[in-house]
Amino acid sequence: MFGPLLITLREGLEAALIIGIILAYLARTENRQGFKPVWLGTSLAVATSLVAGFIIYLVAGEFSGTAEEIFEGSAMFLAVGVLTWMIFWMRRQAVDIKSHLHSQVKSVLDSGSSLGLVVLAFIVVVREGIETVLFLFAATRVAESPLLFASGGLLGLIIAIIIGYSLYKGASKLNLKVFFNATSVLLIVFAAGLLAHGIHEFHEAGIIPPIIEHVWDINHLLPEKATLGRFLTAIVGYNANPSLVEVVAYFVFLAAALGSYFRPSGAERVN
């Protein structure tokens, strides 16, 4: 439940913040007539994301055996790559994303075309939506249960909308830097787990050799099928009997990603 909640909360809040910035700029510049095109673009982006999710799950259901393992492993690797890129992209863009969006909206308004606002809103929201669909698909492979998974995803989205609306109205003083840093760390850990699970799928398909099949086996202490074991599997990629390749990949990725994320940028080092 926590995995999908974290994904939809983070992605949903990013989308809500971007739309909030656009709407606030339109209101401040007395261009409220632009609200309708923005909401139209947002609605189209949500619909497109839902269709993309349906197609991904439909395609996944067509595979079985080795093909299924390859497809699921590849989806996990892709999710890890996109998730990692998204985390670092947001870290870089957070500094001037507001001014960048303002210049884009101003350019669209100057052109006198409402279609530009539809396209702008669509692009910024559909990116978050497609990312969410991809992450959720990868996460379903290690979910505790379908009901908890769906509940977590829905709850995260609801919280994101509430926080985004509160920030837009000025009713919330959420420290966004702390929020994004905390969720970024959790998502990096989540991505490390997906990476290990993707490797496990490729072990099953016979593509990646395990080198050592089981570095340890603590199923007798904390079974993967137990409630706590399933929860840890979904959140941090817990594996009671991992291969050597899985262990090395997990900790190397974790160290590299966390080290890079908290390394001061050029501007921060100068200051």
User: Does residue 110 sit within a domain?
Assistant: yes
Closest CA to 35 of 99, 121, 102: 121
Q: Average pLDDT of each block of 10 consecutive residues along the chain (271 residues)?
A: 78 86 86 90 93 86 84 89 86 72 82 84 88 81 67 85 80 70 86 91 92 91 84 82 94 94 64 45
pLDDT score recorded for residue 2:
67
Residues 6+ apart with CB under 8 A from 69: 201, 202, 204, 205
pLDDT score recorded for residue 141:
66
What range does the domain containing 212 cover?
A: 2-265
- pTM for the model stands at 0.79
Total count of domains within the chain:
1
User: Does residue 188 sit within a domain?
Assistant: yes
User: Does residue 56 sit within a domain?
Assistant: yes
User: Does residue 270 sit within a domain?
Assistant: no
- CB atoms near residue 145 (< 10 Å): 12
